[in-house]
Structure 1
Amino acid sequence: MNRVVITGMGVAAPNAVGLEAFEKAIREGESGIRFFKELEELNFSCQIGGKPEVPAEMLEKYFTPLQLRGLNSSGIIYGVIAGMDAWKDAALEPSPEGEVLYDSGIIFGTGILGVDKFREAIHLIDAGKTRRLGSTSVIQTMASGISAYLGGILGCGNQVTTNSSACTTGTEAVLMAYERIKAGKAKRMLAGSCGDHGPYVWGGFDAMRILPGKYNLDPQIASRPMSASATGFVPGSGAGALVLEDYDLAIERGAKIYAEVLGGEMNSGGQRAGGSMTAANSEAVQRCITAALQNSGIAARDVDLINGHLTATTRDSVEIKNWVEALEREGDDFPYINSLKGMTGHCLSASGSIECVASVLQLKNNFIFGNINCEDLHPDIQSLISDKKVPRSTIQSNGEMEILAKASFGFGDVNAVVVFKRI
């Protein structure tokens, strides 16, 4: 079976767009969560969120004038930026006209795509103005629009598809791409995920009362993973992308290698035994962690750092307990653990891929970013693991960190854990 490595990455996150800026932001604990007047005017309880800042001049670097005409899908915008940046970062070029990259494919997921375009289309259709929809309304509103967009730009001829598994989507895409290369069905895969922003995506969560409503005047301290004062997750959006490649091919072409993908696991708790549409079945989570380690050929003691799902809800302490039981490690023996969501909010379907990028950057560049807004570690977590394993500011690891486990747990009781190794 083939070894699989990561040779390129790209990101459009609420706290930074572009790999270099993103690494700087996570090292410095920079928050991308802001107040949105529009949400206040719509009477949202939670009037804050995370949204990548993409100025018009940046759009012109990724889209032609024809593509920009009528473009109204934030998810596609973020996904194309992250995907093309990852491809370029891997020292790859789109295939020339008339040529197809049959050994290269794309698995790029999303949860919901083109909501604003849908709204625009509904108004035009109801007004009897269907012909004003334009030629891009279909590709902007179909779930696989992002993979179709990237597939056409890059000229990929292997599997080109879109997956969708709620908050697990991005991590699942990485594992699906890994499995395709591992099995010898592709030499290279662009994996990632994206998500739209705005009231029509975030409104349902506000209605469920699972978003914080008391930090509208202090948005940057609102997302509080593992904190005793956490009151819900802050919604976010964006995209992350990683180029996965056959190890021998990467070595042959002299590619830069960020890390190796050792393996992972995906499963579901069946919404049974404590699992539900919104809560994970703990046994399934522990099974997913254990199987991910087994599939990666490592022991629980080998894990140096966990990048958790950890959304700043009451489930954070349950997630920590599941890690403690699956690894059979607690107190000072527990690995370091962090959550990106204090800085970005919960980017929903984009979260897994953005967090995979953050995870790999830590391995490659020997640091552990801090958990911001976690001064008051939840007492249920304090009873399980040592406080020092939850760093509040960036730690330089000096090459001592070799193995990172990244987890995502999504609506519908679905789970994914991927294991990365420093190389």
Structure 2
Amino acid sequence: MSRRVVITGLGVCAPNGVGLHDFTEALHQGKTGIRFQSKLQALDFGCQIAGEPLIKDNILSNYFTPLQLRGLNASGIIYGVIAGKDAWSDAGLFPNSSKVPYWDCGVIFGSGTLGVDKFREAVYQVDNKDVRRLGSTAVIQTMASGVSAYLGGMLGCGNQVTTNSSACTTGTESILIAYERIASGRAEVMLSGSCSDSGPYVWGGFDAMRILPWDFNNNPGKASRPMSATATGFVPGSGAGALVLESLESAQKRGAKIYAEVLGGEINSGGQVGEGSMTAPNSEAVQRCIKKAVKNSGIESYQIDAINGHLTATSKDALEVTNWSEALGLSGNQFPYINSFKGTIGHCLSAAGSIECVGSILQLEEGVVFGNVNCEDVHPEIVKIIDEGKIPQKTIPYRPKIIAKASFGFGDVNACVIFRAYNN
């Protein structure tokens, strides 16, 4: 028998806002976190802009001990710990101070590339025969599961503590893995989320692929243009999002604030066959993922009030909207509101899904649909499918009850999760 699963904590470390309050205000106002990066200019990148959280050094002591900070050079871990510990605190939970693990609490926190700068540092020190200066934290900062290991230890969790990795689908996938663990009765509380490193060693490969915008270096705020006719590629970003998922019984017993309920979802792959490839989605798989997410959640398509799409500001945006329309059997004015947060934060890669899930749930909390920044010229192929009024340019007052969030990633992988405003 499947148990009901709710969300009781949120945390975020995003390019346009570090902390839940600043991130919420930024989404309301359409504030961008995409900025010119002099380090990319110095390295002769074509795209010299990116979305990167602005972390003040003096706040790190709120999240790390002096010993943990010594030699710490992994931006993704820093972002993940900030978002994760904030979400834990937001849920009214505390780090474990006893000698017994929290057996019913776990961590599913994903990453893509992790500790790239630390790994680069390690390569130089090894090549220079200076291996003893690497320090004792080089391994944990560069292993894929470093972020979940940090968080699991900081919080004292004794249930499953692991890291998932599925390209841009990672964050949304982590939430569904945590959901399934709680729904099946194997855990009571799970911290889920994802993070992504920042910097040229992460973003360089995408610049080499020529899929980033090269003509907005002097106007960063206008560069990321999801669903726009003048979109020229995605802007790379970084950061972390975190959510505390909990069984309804546990949340009620604690008297915890409940942001939303996770109704269900679906994870699948297009197998890189047909029109699918390493970098292109198989539309049949995308539509199947959405359809099964709706079915698994026990709702009908017409009950979805809003969609937060993957929508990266590339030529595939119109195809994604087509897939949503086909999967839901809705078009024109019957189609839900749809938005993308990438206009202000860029594409945060493995952190995208978790940051955007936090933003999606904030719409339930705030009673709004956040606007689509830089989408004043909606792509004509999209307007053929849905009414332009369903793509709000600015934040609008509206109280959605059910929101669908999907992420699609390299490797032809897909994930879709359905959130509902909590009611007894």
Q: Which residue of 2 aligns with 1:416?
A: 415
CA distance in 2, matches of 1:283, 1:254: 43
Q: Which residue of 2 aligns with 1:210?
A: 211
Q: By how many angstroms is 1:268 displaced?
A: 0.2
Letter in 2 for 1:161: T
Runs of 4+ in 1 over 4 A off after TM superposition: none
Q: Which residue of 2 aligns with 1:108?
A: 109
Residue by residue over 1:268-311, the C-alpha shift from the partner in whole angstroms, topping out at 9 and shown as x without a partner, is 00001100111100000000000000000000111100000000
Q: Which residue of 2 aligns with 1:26?
A: 27
Q: By how many angstroms is 1:99 displaced?
A: 2.1
Q: Which runs of 5+ in 1 are unaligned?
A: none
Q: Secondary structure at the match of 1:164?
A: coil
CA distance in 1, matches of 2:404, 2:312: 17
The total of aligned residue pairs comes to: 421
Q: Which residue of 1 aligns with 2:256?
A: 255
Q: Which residue of 2 aligns with 1:64?
A: 65
Say if 2:234 is the partner of 1:233.
yes
TM-score by length of 1: 0.99
CA distance in 1, matches of 2:279, 2:27: 28
Q: Which residue of 1 aligns with 2:175?
A: 174
Alignment of 1:8-407 (within 5 A): 8-397=9-398, 399=399, 401-407=400-406
Residue by residue over 1:190-239, the C-alpha shift from the partner in whole angstroms, topping out at 9 and shown as x without a partner, is 00000000000000000000000000000000000000000000000000
Letter in 1 for 2:36: F
Q: Secondary structure at the match of 2:232?
A: coil
Q: Which runs of 5+ in 2 are unaligned?
A: none
CA distance in 2, matches of 1:17, 1:36: 19
Q: By how many angstroms is 1:252 displaced?
A: 1.1
CA distance in 1, matches of 2:80, 2:160: 18
Q: Secondary structure at the match of 1:417?
A: strand
Q: By how many angstroms is 1:97 displaced?
A: 3.5
Is the deviation greater in 193-202 or in 97-106?
A: 97-106
Q: Secondary structure at the match of 1:9?
A: strand
Letter in 2 for 1:405: A
CA distance in 2, matches of 1:102, 1:225: 43
CA distance in 2, matches of 1:50, 1:364: 25
Residue by residue over 1:150-192, the C-alpha shift from the partner in whole angstroms, topping out at 9 and shown as x without a partner, is 0000000000000000000000000000000000000010000
Q: By how many angstroms is 1:61 displaced?
A: 0.9
Q: Secondary structure at the match of 2:272?
A: coil
Letter in 2 for 1:52: P
TM-score by length of 2: 0.99
Residue by residue over 1:60-80, the C-alpha shift from the partner in whole angstroms, topping out at 9 and shown as x without a partner, is 111111111100000000000
CA distance in 1, matches of 2:263, 2:365: 15
CA distance in 2, matches of 1:311, 1:290: 21
Q: Secondary structure at the match of 1:125?
A: helix
CA distance in 1, matches of 2:168, 2:311: 11
Letter in 2 for 1:4: V
Q: By how many angstroms is 1:43 displaced?
A: 0.7
**Cα RMSD between the aligned structures?**
0.5
Letter in 1 for 2:26: A
Q: Secondary structure at the match of 1:294?
A: helix
Is the deviation greater in 83-92 or in 97-106?
A: 97-106
Q: Secondary structure at the match of 2:405?
A: strand
Residue by residue over 1:103-138, the C-alpha shift from the partner in whole angstroms, topping out at 9 and shown as x without a partner, is 000000000100000000000000101000000000
Aligned identity (percent) is 66
Letter in 2 for 1:246: S
Q: Secondary structure at the match of 1:184?
A: coil
